[in-house]
Each structure stands twice: as structure tokens, then as C-alpha cells.
Amino acid sequence: MGITSENAAQRLGVTRQEQVQAVVESHRKAAAATASGKFKDEIIPVKTKLSGRTGQAETSTTTGNSSQVSDGAGAVLLMKRSVAMHKELLILGVFRSFVAVGVDPAVMGIGPAVAIPAAVRFAGLELGDIDIFEINEAFASQYIYCHKKLELDPEKINVNGGAMAIGHPLGATGARCVATLLHEMKRRGKDCRFGVVSMCIGTGMGAAAVFERGDSRDEHCNSRKVEAHNFPSKDA
């Protein structure tokens, strides 16, 4: 994985200084979010044993600007709106679209740069319609490339920090990103209708999903968008 990060940095012109700035900003935002209590409804601390990480010398990719070796578990509940209402569960978000793509395995980290536009189009939206993004920070190099390539507003991306600060527990990161995104959308209310979660995947894949804030109920607009993709419009 570290080699693919270095490949991306060298091929795509991401400097060591840019990576340092990205990881500092990720830690700053994560520390602020933790101090303000934003994560209190999302996380439960557990004791774990962590092994060390080794890397190559003389590269721009370091343990400091990579995601942590983290243990973690995550869970999300996905169901029809009617079921959630029957069970009196809080509807945090509506799952609007999902796309998985393939990229060159040598630079697998750039997957989100391809997956995000595809998922947004599949939801019947444009990038400008998205209010907030959670892009997994596997490495600073690929994270920087993705948001530069898509020309995303930095103020909309990983607003509470990312994996370089929070950690990247393989297999649980997707659930963590979804939980963080939906809770932030709930906090922002009517100013945040659509959000995107995306991450790179080993062997050259990228995935992205579009969510709508759970209490955003423009019935007619939503029905038209959902019906266009053969989803059950009233129960999505």
C-alpha cells in the first residue's frame, strides 16, 4: 500500500510538504471535533493491541502522513423508510446511489477521483449539489490528488478530520465514514442535504455512495430522481 501511495505522489506531482499540510489539517479538525463532543454519539472506546508499521526510507510517504494501523468495528442499519418508521427509529440518511470503479492498481489510491463523479451522476446530481464529503485518507498523497482532481471545496471535505487522524480499521472504515457523514449532516440541518462517502480499495478499485439527509423530505423531487433509477420512490 505504501508503494502505491509513493507511486501516486511521484506520478501525480504531490509534494511532501502538501502531504504534511494535509495530515496536520486532518489532526486539527479531528481534535476540534473530539473536543466539541461531535463524536460522542458515534464511538465507543475499546482496548486493543497494535503492531508496529514498517516502511521504505527516503520516500515522501511516511507513517505520519498515512492512515493509522487501527483496530475497530462499525455497524449501520439499512432498511425501508416504512420499516424504520414502524420501529420508531431515527432516519439519519437516505441511501441514494453507489458506484464501484477500477483504476490502475499501481496508483489504487486515486479511486475516489473516478468513483465520486460516477456515483453523483447515478444519483441524478452534479458535484455542486453535494454539501459535504467523507473521503477516506488512506494516504495523504491520494487524498490530495482526489480533491484536487475534482476541484472540491476544502471546507466541504472531512470536516471533522479523516483516517490520518482518526484511523483506518480495514473492514470498518466504510461504516465509520457513513456514521460520521450522517451525524454531521444531521447537525447542519437544512444547510446540508446531500453527502458523499468514498474510498480507495486495494488492487485498484474505488467506491463512492451518495446519501441524502434523513429528514430532507422534498417528496416530488426525490421521487423523480429515485424512479429514474428504478428504486422504490416512496420507500427509499
Q: What is the pLDDT of residue 230?
A: 45
Q: What is the pLDDT of residue 236?
A: 54
Reported as half-sphere exposure (CB side, CA atoms, 13 A), residue 108 has a value of 17
Q: What is the pLDDT of residue 53?
A: 52
How far apart, in whole angstroms, are the C-alpha atoms of residue 5 and residue 117?
A: 22
The pLDDT tens digits along the chain (236 residues) read 788 888 888 888 999 999 989 999 999 999 999 999 998 888 777 776 655 554 555 678 776 777 766 778 888 999 999 999 999 999 999 999 999 999 999 999 999 999 999 999 999 999 999 999 999 999 999 999 999 999 999 999 999 999 999 888 888 999 999 999 999 999 999 999 999 999 999 889 999 999 999 998 654 344 444 444 544 444 55
For the chain, which residues make up each domain, given as ranges? 2-235
pTM: 0.79
How far apart, in whole angstroms, are the C-alpha atoms of residue 103 and residue 205?
A: 6
Confirm if 164 and 65 have CB atoms less than 8 A apart: yes
Nearest to 184 by CA among 128, 146, 131: 131
How far apart, in whole angstroms, are the C-alpha atoms of residue 16 and residue 228?
A: 44
Q: What is the pLDDT of residue 227?
A: 46
For strand 132-135 and strand 194-201, is the pairing parallel, antiparallel, or unpaired? Answer: parallel
Fold that domain 2-235 belongs to in CATH: Peroxisomal Thiolase; Chain A, domain 1 (3.40.47)
How far apart, in whole angstroms, are the C-alpha atoms of residue 76 and residue 82?
A: 17
Q: What is the pLDDT of residue 50?
A: 58
